Structure formats: structure tokens, C-alpha cells
Amino acid sequence: MTDTAQPTATKTDTAAAFKTRVFSGIQPSGGLTLGNYLGALKRFVELQERGAETIYCIVDLHAITVWQDPAALRRNTRELAAGFLASGIDPTRSILFNQSQVPGHAQLAWIFNCVARMGWLNRMTQFKDKAGKNRENASVGLFAYPTLMAADILLYHATHVPVGEDQKQHLELTRDIAIKFNHDYGVDWFPVVEPVIEGPATRVMSLRDGTKKMSKSDPSDMSRINLTDDADTIARKIRKARTDPEPLPETLEGLEGRPEARNLVNIFAALADITPEQAIRQVAGKQFSEFKPMLAELAVERLAPISRRMAELMEDPAEIDRILGDGARRADAIATPILEKTYDIVGMLRTRGD
């Protein structure tokens, strides 16, 4: 794979005209959860290890669609960078940076605000969930969140986007924006992206309610495992996780209608790097009183080195800043020609000559 994404576009074969390039983002809006790790970070590392060209972004502009205290935002941005690095992202093989350091994201988002339709954004379930009952009081940014996300991806002509299940609708919108832009301007410019939503943990559920996503913004800390939780806290949260009174079934079909049990089995599978089928075979017939300590031990074994490494990295914020700065420069070098060409397609006059 090379580091250019200039399409050799032919009208007939768009997919083949673009090289594989992976892009994904995470918001620095609080601590990382086990959901973020299994649904996103762990997958990001796997793609890096497979040798794909990988670009990972800390989406600070997305974070401010809801209020963020400035000092906390700065700290969370560095802590999230530490989370990426501690999980195995190698800043020499992947590009790691924070979104606001590459101005093209906001610039392309504006163009996409003029491509996307109000009706499309009105259907976004994340907006409805996050805005809650009082929509009049939601920020305009929260409504336009998906156009900025489309810009993140298309600014690099990314072709593959690993995310958790909850982001599927936003990726469909990204495809719609690319298609409409190409159609409106009569070009074959933006690729139609492929969502990469794979593995046993695309939707890790809350430990308190197996029908709700594990979320960093859930008011109950007992609902989630944070990457920074210590061993005792992880064990206590798993011990107290909601379950049902039945022992674990022999087959995956037996988890039907048992969302909490299914969630714990899926988490076990993802942490152990096995399939849910293999996981259920290992734990079939066990009571939760036996399975939960097994799961807790595995979770501590997998997460403790990550949280230890995060703490070490946080002791040297200057090094984190250096890595993000270097990543931003490399990202910008890919983004700028794509943005310039996009402005040209749209008809923006460029006369500064610099």
C-alpha cells in the first residue's frame, strides 16, 4: 500500500479506483470504556497489525457538540491519546492526531452541510438520543455532527471505517453524502465507504441493563468498566453486574431473551480472542457465581497492562503532544490536496498562490 489516495477514477469502477485506507475517530469526552476498547480500539490495532494504512483521530471538534470544560477537554484529549498508544497503536505505523489541528475537517464539513439535507439529519437516532426532550436547546453542532463525521472520513478518501454498531447510521449518511456530492458535481471524487463492524463486541451493553449500550456518558459508573479502573473495581463491577438466575446455556441459541448473559459471554469471547461459539462451549452449564470470577480475572489480565501503560504515558504529556503534532502534520499533508481539489470542483476561486 502507498500513502497516496488519488483516485484513478473511471466512471465504471469506483470501488477499484480507490486504495484501502482506514480511518476512525473517538471523542475525548471522558474516560474510555470497555465498549470503546473492544468495539473500536482493539479493532484499530488489528487493522494496523494487518498492514493497512491507518489514520486515527481524536475528534475534539465533535466533543464540543455538548459542553466540555476547556481544562477537562485538554486533559481528556491527552488521556485518549495515551489510551490509543497503550492499546497498541504505533504512531510510526499509524497516524494519530487530534481533529482540530487539521483545519480541513471543519472546512469540508461546511461543504457537506450544504450537500446533506435537513431531512437526512432529522432521522439520525444519535441526535434524538443526545438532544433528549429539549431539542430546541441542543447545539446546532450536535445536529450537524454527522456531516463533520463524513468530512473526517472523506477528507482522506478513506475506504474502510471500523466502528461499533451504534455508528452504522452515521456511516450510511457518509455514503449518501459522497454519492450526492459526486452526482451533483458530476464527478467520481469521493469514495463510497465500507463500514467495518465486526467481531463479538460491536455492541457491548451496560452491566446494569443488557438492553442499553455501555456508554461513557451513563450516569452510573457501575454500568461500565473504564480502562482506568483498578483490578478491585473491575472485579466488583462484574460481580455486581445484572444477570438472571439460570446457569449458562450449552449453545448460543440458549442466550435468546437473556441480554445480560449474552453480553457477558460476548465480552468474555472478545477479551479471550475467541468466537462466541467457542466461549459458550467453555462456560456451558456454569453458574454466574463461577463464571463471573473467571470473566473478572480475564478482564483484569487484559486491561491492567493497558491502564498501567496509560498512567506511565500520562507522566510525559510533552511526548504525547509531540506525537499528536507529528500525526497532525502527516494527516494535513494527505488532507490538503484533497480539500483543494474539492474546493476546485465546487467552484471556489483560489488565487493566493501559496
Region from 24-32, 110-118, 175-183, 324-332 binding ligand LTN, contact rule CB under 6 A: 24-32
Q: Which of 25, 83, 199, 327 binds ligand LTN (CB under 6 A)?
A: 25
Query: Could you say which residues in the range 209-228 bind ligand ATP, by CB under 6 A?
Result: 213-217
C-alpha cell at 223: 454500568
Region from 4-12, 163-171, 305-313, 346-354 binding ligand ATP, contact rule CB under 6 A: 163-171
Separation of alpha carbons 239 and 104, rounded Å: 46
Query: Is residue 149 a contact residue for ligand LTN (CB under 6 A)?
Result: yes
Secondary structure element (H or E) that encloses residue 332, with its range: helix 317-346
Query: Is residue 34 a contact residue for ligand LTN (CB under 6 A)?
Result: no
Q: Which of 53, 152, 229, 260 binds ligand LTN (CB under 6 A)?
A: 152
The DSSP code sequence of 243-294 is: --SSPP-SSGGGGTT-HHHHHHHHHHHHHHT--HHHHHHHHTT--HHHHHHH
Relative to beta strand 54-58, strand 22-26 is parallel
Query: Is residue 65 a contact residue for ligand ATP (CB under 6 A)?
Result: no
Identify what 213 binds: ligand LTN, ligand ATP, none; CB under 5 to 8 Å per kind: ligand ATP
Comparing CA positions, the residue from 338, 339, 328 lying closest to residue 102 is 328
Query: Is residue 196 a contact residue for ligand ATP (CB under 6 A)?
Result: no
Scored b (16 or more CB within 10 A) or e, 285-305 reads eeebeebbeebbeebbebbee
Q: Which is nearer to ligand LTN, 29 or 263 (CB)?
A: 29
Q: Which of 5, 14, 18, 27 binds ligand LTN (CB under 6 A)?
A: 27
Query: Could you say which residues in the range 60-79 bind ligand LTN, by CB under 6 A?
Result: 62
Query: Is residue 324 a contact residue for ligand ATP (CB under 6 A)?
Result: no
Query: Is residue 235 a contact residue for ligand ATP (CB under 6 A)?
Result: no
Comparing CA positions, the residue from 338, 17, 308 lying closest to residue 191 is 17
Query: Is residue 39 a contact residue for ligand LTN (CB under 6 A)?
Result: no
The distance of closest approach from Cβ of residue 320 to ligand ATP in the complex, given in angstroms and rounded to an integer, is 18
Query: Is residue 201 a contact residue for ligand LTN (CB under 6 A)?
Result: no
C-alpha cell at 20: 484501502
The distance of closest approach from Cβ of residue 161 to ligand LTN in the complex, given in angstroms and rounded to an integer, is 5
The distance of closest approach from Cβ of residue 142 to ligand ATP in the complex, given in angstroms and rounded to an integer, is 11
The distance of closest approach from Cβ of residue 123 to ligand LTN in the complex, given in angstroms and rounded to an integer, is 16
CA distances from 45 to 22, 231, 257, 307, 313 (A): 11, 23, 33, 16, 18
Is residue 230 within 8 Å of residue 195, measured between CB atoms? no
Query: Is residue 94 a contact residue for ligand ATP (CB under 6 A)?
Result: no
Q: Is 292 a catalytic residue?
A: no
Beta-carbon contacts of residue 263 (< 8 Å; ≥ 6 apart) = 204, 205, 207, 210
Query: Is residue 163 a contact residue for ligand LTN (CB under 6 A)?
Result: yes
Q: Which of 163, 178, 270, 310 binds ligand ATP (CB under 6 A)?
A: 163
Separation of alpha carbons 155 and 213, rounded Å: 29
Query: Is residue 31 a contact residue for ligand ATP (CB under 6 A)?
Result: no
- Of 19, 130, 168, 180, the active-site residue reads 130
Separation of alpha carbons 5 and 7, rounded Å: 6
Separation of alpha carbons 198 and 171, rounded Å: 14
How many angstroms separate the most distant Cα atoms in the chain?
72
- Interface positions with ligand LTN (CB under 6 A): 23-25, 27, 59, 62, 149, 152-153, 161, 163, 167, 170
Active site members: 130, 213, 216
